[in-house]
Structure 1
Amino acid sequence: MKTPKRIEPLIEDGLVDEVLRPLMSGKEAAVYVVRCGKELRCAKVYKEANKRSFRQAAEYQEGRKVRNSRDARAMAKGSKFGRKETEDAWQNAEVAALFRLASAGVRVPKPFDFLEGVLLMEMICDEYGDAAPRLNDVTLEPDQAREYHAFLIQQIVLMLCTGLVHGDLSEFNVLLTPTGPVIIDLPQAVDAAGNNHAFIMLERDVGNMASYFGRFAPELKQTRYAREMWSYFEAGTLSPTTVLTGVFADPDEIADVGSVLREIEAARMDEDRRQAGRAADDAPLGKTEEPPPPWMQ
């Protein structure tokens, strides 16, 4: 096929030998299958900001480090230079996240290089060597759903332990391989400690997983892993070996339960008193004793 203009620099630099076919086009990038020597890899070509359908970038970029104060001011003003810096930061975020997560043991595609807005990375394949399907494209047995859900919850914990939240995790950006799920699409990954929206995004990511796998194992829809893992994260005790249950009660809910129990106990005691009063009123009257004789009075 004709080489996309954005991939030409990679061919000129010897990083890519041939573009074979388009693989997919998403809301922030188009992905191509390319040949690099004897290996097949993916070239992810990021779309320009005005051509992306992914919105609300500002809330995702909160907490990300900027190289210097000049760049920060330019990005805040939205100047031409600032827009370019913002775009570069958005694209570089995925590269940094992939290296960071891969080193932590999270199952993500291995990144190889990044040049001129093109990310060269591992191609995730099925058992036949073709592109692996997305979770959205498969039907699962209940036990499979439970197994994959548990695995992805563990992956989310590993991500959080590195200080990152995916931010857009769903069945559309998880690929299924013979050895299990692989998480993709991370340009919007957020800093868990530095972004005020981090927990909301984590809760949405975890909720999306529960909703999808809950189609096959309905009990998963009732789990509350996001709040549970976040409570450990805030306390500084979350680790890759933390055992989660999926059950979590907010402190306010615990307080409310205590209040309800006290009200129930008070109502029970009131009812006991009323019952005792009614029992006394309904008791049969005994015989009236005759007054004692005068000499005993």
Structure 2
Amino acid sequence: MKAPKRLQSLVDEGLIDTVVRQLMSGKEAMVYVVRCGDDTRCAKIYKEATHRSFRQAVDYTENRKVKNTRQARAMAKGSKFGREKQEEAWQSAEVDALYRLAGAGVRVPKPYNFHDGVLLMELVTDENGDAAPRLNDVVFTPEDARRHHATLIAEVVRMLGAGVVHGDLSEFNILLALDGPVIIDLPQAVDAAGNNHAQRMLLRDVDNLRGFFGRFAPELLRTEYGHEIWELFQRGELHPDTPLTGRFKHKAGAVDLGSVLREIDDARDEEAARRLRLQTTQ
């Protein structure tokens, strides 16, 4: 097919030879299957993220550093230039997270290049060599659900060990490759130690995994991996080989009403996002 305008610069630079087909189109990005020499890869073209609320953007971007003071001031003022730089920073966050996590051995697509707002990375494939499906498109046996859940809990631990929380992990941004689940879509990834919302986001990520796989293996719905993982992390006792039980004893104390309301807002936002993702795939 003819290369889209946004991919033409990569063709001109010799980073892409041909564009094979469009793989996905969503509110955040469009993804194309491309050929690079003898390799088949995918190219993610970012769109302007108008679907994110200001509150969500602030939560996710808290403590992200901008070296250029002029850009930082413009982003704080919300000028057109500032919004452009903020969007560039949002895109770069995924690139940085992918390189960081791939280096730590986390199951994410291997990144190859980032050029003119286009991320060139590994095409995750299934047993037939086709683009791997997302988890929400797959029906699992109880045994497979337990196995993949365990794999992803281990990946959450490995991500946390690399100082990263996904922030939006669910069945919609995990692919089922030939050799197991692969985590994708990381522009909202947050710094585990530097973001005040990291704990809440990690608990939500783990709860999403529990809720999805619990449909196929109901005993998973009784697990408490999120709280267990975070407590071990805070104590400096979390490592990739740390044994987890899925059990956690909550301490009695006053209820934080603000946190409860925030969780309700998050659940509402997550449901709206799920509906939107389903609409874009139909």
TM-score by length of 1: 0.82
Q: Return the letter of the residue paired with 1:94.
A: E
Which residue does 1:35 correspond to in 2?
Answer: 35
Per-residue displacement from partner, 1:166-217 (whole Å, max 9, x unpaired)? 0111111111112111001001101111111111111111011000100110
Instruction: Give % identity.
Output: 64
Are positions 1:178 and 2:178 aligned together? Answer: yes
SS in 2 for 1:232: helix
Structure 1 counterpart of 2:154: 154
| 1:209 counterpart = 2:173 | no
Contact 1:146 1:213 in 2 (8 A): yes
Any gaps of 5 or more consecutive residues in structure 2?
254-282
Contact 1:161-1:240 at 8 Å conserved across structures = yes
Q: Distance in 2 between matches of 1:167 and 1:26?
A: 18
Cα distance in 2 for partners of 1:219, 1:227 equals: 17
Compute the displacement of 1:80 (Å). Answer: 2.1
Distance 1:119 1:151 in 2: 26
**d(CA) in 1 for partners of 2:237, 2:173:** 29
Whichever residue aligns with residue 131 of structure 1, its letter is A
**Cα RMSD after superposing both structures:** 1.2
Distance 2:68 2:234 in 1: 29
| 2:78 alignment partner in structure 1 | 78
User: Aligned partners of 1:129, 1:54: CA distance in 2, in Å?
Assistant: 34
Distance 2:70 2:192 in 1: 25
Q: Which runs of 4+ in 1 moved over 3 A?
A: none
Aligned to 1:65: 65
Does the Cα contact within 8 Å between 1:27 and 1:54 map onto a contact in 2?
A: no
| Pairs within 5 Å for 1:79-158 | 79-158=79-158
- Secondary structure of 1:181 counterpart: strand
Structure 1 equivalent of residue 266 of structure 2: none
Shift, 1:2, TM fit: 2.6
What's the CA shift for 1:148? 0.4
* Superposition map of 1:271-282 within 5 A: none
Letter in 1 for 2:205: D
Shift of 1:54: 3.7
Q: TM-score, normalised by structure 2?
A: 0.86
Gaps of 5+ in 1: 254-297
User: Following TM superposition, by how much is the alpha carbon of 1:136 offset from its aligned partner in structure 2, in angstroms?
Assistant: 0.7
